[in-house]
């Protein structure tokens, strides 16, 4: 397969990965935002922030996930970077929870997450997050290798 054929396949994979990541982040953000009180309880369970900040974080974290999802889905600059840093943050929090020996819902997909209800597996969530980081790294490599530039976000028409 020549460069043209390889680029076509990789372009399809790139778009699929980008849209899947965007869809996952959109679903996760909406799920958490639909039940901020329950998500605040999960945030407090990790013991990393003062309890009075959990309410703010229970809205801010999913809002950032939704922003990242929209940027990814619409191929706008900043989406990969925002998603990457959120995933690093989530992996750090989950690692902390495992270090403490917590057996709690990771809160990844909101309070109605069946994985969280049945498995309480932060290790599974870390593996999933690492796979998503791999997807982001692939997308970043693809952009650099083939010179793909996402849309620039601007409030002003040029």
User: Domain range holding 122?
Assistant: 9-146
Establish if 152 belongs to a structural domain.
no
Residue 3 has pLDDT above 80, yes or no: no
Whole-prediction pTM:
0.89
Establish if 155 belongs to a structural domain.
no
Establish if 3 belongs to a structural domain.
no
Task: Count up the domains in the chain and report the number.
Answer: 1
pLDDT tens-digit series, residues 99-139:
999 988 888 988 766 555 544 589 999 999 999 999 999 99
Establish if 4 belongs to a structural domain.
no
Please, are residues 22 and 72 in contact by the beta-carbon 8 Å criterion? Answer: yes
Q: How far apart are CA 1 and CA 20, in angstroms?
A: 26
């Amino acid at each position: 397969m020549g460069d043209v054929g390889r680029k076509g396949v990789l372009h399809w994979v790139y778009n699929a990965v980008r849209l899947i990541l965007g869809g996952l982040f959109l679903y996760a953000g909406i799920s958490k935002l639909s039940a901020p009180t329950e998500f605040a309880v999960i945030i407090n369970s990790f013991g990393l922030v003062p309890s009075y900040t959990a309410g703010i974080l229970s809205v801010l974290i999913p809002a950032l996930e939704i922003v990242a999802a929209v940027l990814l889905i619409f191929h706008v600059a900043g989406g990969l970077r925002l998603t990457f840093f959120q995933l690093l943050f989530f992996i750090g929090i989950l690692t902390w929870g495992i270090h403490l020996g917590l057996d709690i819902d990771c809160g990844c997909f909101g309070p109605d997450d069946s994985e969280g209800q049945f498995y309480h597996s932060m290790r599974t969530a870390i593996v999933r997050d690492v796979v998503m980081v791999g997807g982001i790294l692939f997308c970043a490599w693809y952009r650099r290798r083939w010179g793909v530039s996402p849309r620039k976000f601007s409030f002003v028409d040029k």
